[in-house]
Amino acid sequence: MSIAKGFSIWCEPNGKIVKVITDTLGISANFHDGMQFPSLAGYSEVAKALSFLNEIKTRGMAFNWLINIMVGDEFKLLHFNGGVAGDYLIITGAEDGDAAGKLFEEMMLMQNEQTNALRAALKESSHTSEMFNQISYMNNELVSAQRELAKKNAELIDANARLEAAESGLLQAHARLEDHVAERTAELYSANQKLKRAGKMKDEFLASVSHELRTPLLGILGLADVLQIGSYGPLNDRQNASLTHIQSSGRRLLEMINDILDLSRIDAGKLEIQMAPVSLTDICQASLWAISALVETKGLQSSFSISPEAIILIVDGRRLRQIITNLLSNAVKFTPQGGKLGIQVVGDRAEALVRITVWDTGIGISEQDQSRLFLPFVQLDASLARQFAGSGLGLVLVSRLAELNAGSVSVESAPGQGSRFTVTLPWQEK
């Protein structure tokens, strides 16, 4: 009887290797006394080897399992079959499924021949007919198992062929997908580079134009101040009114230019932040003073509260004052005459945070519009743009400056119920 190329072993039900029956692969060189079958498998395959043993014990047989095991000094992927033979397990392995199946059939036939020999010996020794019948029954069961094995093996070969065809199709689809992804990645990279160059050119253009506008504008404002103090002689009422309008419009334009320059510096990573200890009370009061003339002109009421009273933050004081002043300017702009606005500061020792809230009783903001507040050059309503002048950069600048100071900005508002803009900053109380 020819033995298929591979190996076959007998194991105890717990997986302990008892005997090597055949070995044409040289696997026995890795065996030692008391060795367990799963220990032949690679580290990642031990669980699969245990599952293979479990299927043999629970179903009586297991076919066409693929397991990586140590052969010589390297791991190889072998096809395994197994079955129950009395108190032991028969396991065969080979480099291809047909060889493994053939080897398993041969081992089961050898087991069958041993059973026949035992039956003859029992007859000769006049053992009881009960034992003979039991052995005959076992032999018949083995024959049935061999037939079932042959049937299952054919089914497995057919299924394996279909699986290989499916794997081939999958590999081709995967290759096409990789090519497509590579093409799209290259296109996206090219588009991203173009956007970066366009963004850099935009920032440089804005910075250049803003600088060129700022210089003559400062000259205009300076001359307006000289005229207003009467350096070139007295002015009549109409001239004073025109001069005041020039100064007001010039300062508003200067604020817009400064906002554009600051945003350009932030986008280019060139805006320097000077972190130092500052008194939050001093910052808030200075910001309120900066808009006091506007508050008085519109007949608004302003207030300030802070708890605890002495809060020291490690921030860029100039930029924090710019944040609060911008928020206060918006509050003045969108609060009707006779309304109220203010600053409320609350220090949270447990969270090590300070929340600076600028509130007003103005026109408010709808919920769907709040997500657009911090987009550059956006005013939420065209009618508001006509009624309230502005570039749409103030809140964008507030948000960016807060982030540069390790903080954030949030808003609570509803139409007709005013707004609350809260700047949250880290606070390490000494």
Domains of the chain, by residue range, sit at 7-127, 159-271, 276-426
pLDDT at 50: 92
pLDDT at 206: 66
CA–CA separation, 235 and 230 (whole Å): 7
Is residue 345 left, alpha or beta, with left meaning phi > 0 and alpha meaning psi from -120 to 50?
beta
CA–CA separation, 256 and 248 (whole Å): 13
pLDDT at 390: 53
As given in the structure block, the two tokens for residue 233 are 């002689």
CB atoms within 10 A of CB 47: 11
Q: Quick one: DSSP state of residue 336?
A: -
pLDDT at 139: 58
As given in the structure block, the two tokens for residue 287 are 């910001």
pLDDT at 415: 93
Question: Amino acid identity, residue 316?
Answer: D
Q: Which fold has domain 159-271?
A: Helix Hairpins (1.10.287)
CATH of 276-426, one of 3.30.565.10, 3.40.50.300, 3.40.190.10, 3.20.20.70: 3.30.565.10
- What are the per-10-residue average pLDDT scores of the chain (430 residues)? 72 90 84 84 88 92 90 87 89 89 82 52 46 58 71 82 88 90 90 80 68 78 82 84 80 76 80 93 94 91 93 94 93 94 95 96 90 71 50 81 94 94 90
Prediction pTM value: 0.50
CA–CA separation, 174 and 168 (whole Å): 10
Beta bridge partners of 92: 8, 81
Question: Amino acid identity, residue 319?
Answer: R
Q: Quick one: DSSP state of residue 231?
A: T
Same fold flag, 7-127 and 276-426: no
- How many Å is the Cα radius of gyration of the chain? 44
pLDDT at 116: 53
pLDDT at 71: 84
H-only helix segments in 60-128: 97-124
Nearest to 311 by CA among 259, 354, 252, 275: 354
As given in the structure block, the two tokens for residue 174 are 């995967």
Top CATH class, 7-127: alpha beta
